[in-house]
Amino acid sequence: MEESVSSALPLFAVGVSLAAVPLILWSRGRPNLREFWTLAAAFAKALIVLALLPEVLAGRTVECRLLEISPEIALHLKADPVGMVFALVSSSLWILTSFYSIGYVRGAGEKSQTRYFASFAVCLSATLGIAFSANLLTFLIFYEILSIATYPLVIHKETAEALRSGRQYLVYALSAGVVLIAAVAWTYNLSGTLDFRPGGLLADRAFEAADLRVLFLLFIAGVGVKAGIMPLQSWLPAAMVAPTPVSALLHAVAVVKSGVFGVIRVVGFVFGPSLMKTHGLDAILAAFAGATILFASLIALRQDNLKIRLAYSTIGHLSYIVLGMAMLVPEAFSGGLLHLAAHATTKIALFFCAGAIYVNLHKTEVSQLNGIGRVMPWTMSAFAVGAMGLSGLPPVNAFFSKYALCLGTVEAGRLPALAVLLMSGLLNAAYLLPIVHRAFFRHGGRELEGHGEASAWMVVPLCVAAALSLLLGFRPNALVHLFDLVLLGTRAVFPESVPFAGGGP
């Protein structure tokens, strides 16, 4: 049985950005003060999460049990290794995004900046809440808060298109929410508990196969909307109408990863690998994920709008993680967790680049990007790093997560999945690397003359994101012991196994 420590730190980690919301609203007349609160909350949040790290690395979970919200089910936060991976990724990238946001919204002259920063803070609270949820009801609550808090960001521009996308987003997110409510309530009815348990809270009970299959589909539909599993993905490209930092943090890291994280929780902590295997649920999940990877990559090839292309790329990469979960072997599970982090750093770098290009040169289409590498060398170098990572080229961190995923597919004996991964690697290269080529090796038009890099507020964060991707590629354990965390999390779910026995990345 895992040891656990009681502490209020998880609550603070969740609450600190929520506490910043009134301050942000209160200082709406003074932009500098307002942005100060955002930054302060971002740093505080990251520090609190870091403070949790030693305990978790030592194999103990940090718990914070709050009031009961339904008889015998408490609002319960718990920092376990898997949750820590997600929390570290999202809280550290929020710092980058905050700096970047300041540069972006001021550079692009966005309106309603107060609402923007306030919603962002709420979103981050909800994300950390999702990461630290110790039971399904807590998860559900933060999941719904996240759905609602993202809405103001999606419709931020308040154009007809933004409103339409916002409505579409709401329909998807709220439908997913009610499906999830049904799934959670049913789980409670079946098992009498909602506490996540490594290896599955449903694992040691006998069920009717048909019931279990329906329940699993309900769960996957509930979390799959945010995870962009086809055919539930169409809100995501539409939501690209939002300002770029929103796309970067929420639609590459926080919101969509919450969905993926939900899949991880469902597979590893609700159903559990053994139950999944006995009832053939892994095949269902793998089929959806594999199809999503291929289709998304193919669609991405045909997009000219840079952000939409990145959105489809995101859909594909989210399903990498889902596919990893569906393999039900430790290597693939670790690979999925690693990819959660790796895709976050690389994709956020790519989105930051797209935003910098838009603010600086007002270009949104891939076909307009000829020669901009000479104007914005730092930005496009960072873009190149991200593109290489997502295409699966070493030494960027996404290479290793893909490698682990491939190992897992072999281990699981699922060669079609391996084929999907390799093929999509090629497709990724096909839709990302030509952009780099355009930027550096083609000549740009006249309108580029006289332009330089975007403001340092934007260029520094995107370079940091790219540098992080490289650093984590060379040293997966650098800075925050991410790799150890992943191994700890994997061992919890697969107690008998030793992942990467033959030497990991």
Partner 1 sequence: MIGPQICMLIPVVYLFGALLVPLIGWRRGAAGWGMALAAAAGAFFFSLGGLAGVLQRGSLSYHLGGWMPPIGIEFVMDPLSAFLEVVITGIGLLAVVYTRRSVEHEIPDRLMPFSSLALLVLTGLSGMVITGDLFNLYVFLEISALAGYALIAVGERPASYAAFRYLGMGTVGASFYLLGLAFLYMTLGTLNMADLSRMLAVTDVSATVAVGLLLLFMGAALKMALFPMHGWLPDAYTHASSAATALIAPIGTKVAGYILIRVLLYLLGAGEKGSGLPLLSLLAYLGAAAVIYGSILAVCQSELKRMLAYSSIAQVGYIAIGVGLNSALGFTGAVLHILNHACMKASLFFVSGGLRLRLGHSRIPRFTNALRRAMPWSSAAFALAALSMIGLPPTAGFFSKWYLALGAIEQSRWLFLGVLLFSSLLNAVYFFRVLERMYLDRPGIEPAERPTSVARHEAPPAMLLPAVALSSALLVIGLGNTWIVDRLIGPMIPGGM
The residue from 35, 80, 144, 331 that contacts partner 1 (CB under 8 A) is 144
Interface with partner 1 includes 14 (CB under 8 A)? no
Residue number, 180 or 348, with CB nearest to partner 1: 180
* Residue 210 burial (10 A CB sphere; 0-12, 13-18, 19+): exposed
Interface with partner 1 includes 8 (CB under 8 A)? no
**Three-class secondary structure of residue 55 per DSSP:** helix
Residue number, 58 or 69, with CB nearest to partner 1: 69
Q: How far is the CB of 165 from partner 1 (least distance, A)?
A: 12
Q: What are phi and psi of 137, to 5 degrees?
A: -70, -40
Residue number, 52 or 149, with CB nearest to partner 1: 149
Per DSSP bridges, beta strands 60-70 and 73-79 are: antiparallel
Q: How far is the CB of 55 from partner 1 (least distance, A)?
A: 27
How many angstroms separate the CA atoms of 268 and 164, rounded?
A: 36
The residue from 39, 51, 148, 287 that contacts partner 1 (CB under 8 A) is 148
The residue from 15, 81, 83, 177 that contacts partner 1 (CB under 8 A) is 177
Question: In this structure, are residues 270 and 136 in contact, taking their beta carbons and an 8 Å threshold?
Answer: yes
DSSP state letters, 302-364: T--BHHHHHHHHHHHHHHHHHHHHHH-SHHHHHHHHHHHHHHHHHHHHHHHHHHHHHHHH---
**Neighbour order of strands in the sheet with 73-79:** 3-6, 60-70, 73-79
Binding segment toward partner 1, per CB under 8 A, in 45-53, 164-172, 281-289, 367-375: 164-172
Residue number, 75 or 236, with CB nearest to partner 1: 75
DSSP annotation of 251: I
Interface with partner 1 includes 141 (CB under 8 A)? yes
What string of H, E and C letters represents the secondary structure of 268-285? HHHHCHHHHHHCCHHHHH
Q: How far is the CB of 74 from partner 1 (least distance, A)?
A: 9
For residues 179-208, which are near partner 1 according to CB under 8 A? 179, 181-182, 185-186, 188-189
Q: How far is the CB of 49 from partner 1 (least distance, A)?
A: 22
Q: Crossing angle for the helix pair 397-412 and 456-474, nearest 10 degrees?
A: 40
Interface with partner 1 includes 175 (CB under 8 A)? yes
Q: How far is the CB of 86 from partner 1 (least distance, A)?
A: 20
Residue number, 169 or 383, with CB nearest to partner 1: 169
Q: Among candidates 13, 38, 6, which has minimal Cα distance to 23? A: 38
* Residue 35 burial (10 A CB sphere; 0-12, 13-18, 19+): buried
Question: In this structure, are residues 277 and 493 in contact, taking their beta carbons and an 8 Å threshold?
Answer: no
Residue number, 166 or 200, with CB nearest to partner 1: 166
Q: How far is the CB of 342 from partner 1 (least distance, A)?
A: 32
For residues 47-86, which are near partner 1 according to CB under 8 A? 67-71, 75
Interface with partner 1 includes 170 (CB under 8 A)? yes
How many angstroms separate the CA atoms of 159 and 166, rounded?
A: 10
* Residue 277 burial (10 A CB sphere; 0-12, 13-18, 19+): middle
Q: How far is the CB of 11 from partner 1 (least distance, A)?
A: 13
Q: How far is the CB of 446 from partner 1 (least distance, A)?
A: 31
Interface with partner 1 includes 145 (CB under 8 A)? yes
Q: How far is the CB of 415 from partner 1 (least distance, A)?
A: 39
How many angstroms separate the CA atoms of 161 and 166, rounded?
A: 8
Interface with partner 1 includes 477 (CB under 8 A)? no
Residue number, 170 or 338, with CB nearest to partner 1: 170
Residue number, 110 or 484, with CB nearest to partner 1: 110
Q: How far is the CB of 302 from partner 1 (least distance, A)?
A: 28
**Interface residues toward partner 1, by CB under 8 A:** 67-71, 75, 140-141, 144-145, 147-148, 155, 158-160, 163, 166-167, 170-171, 174-175, 177-179, 181-182, 185-186, 188-189
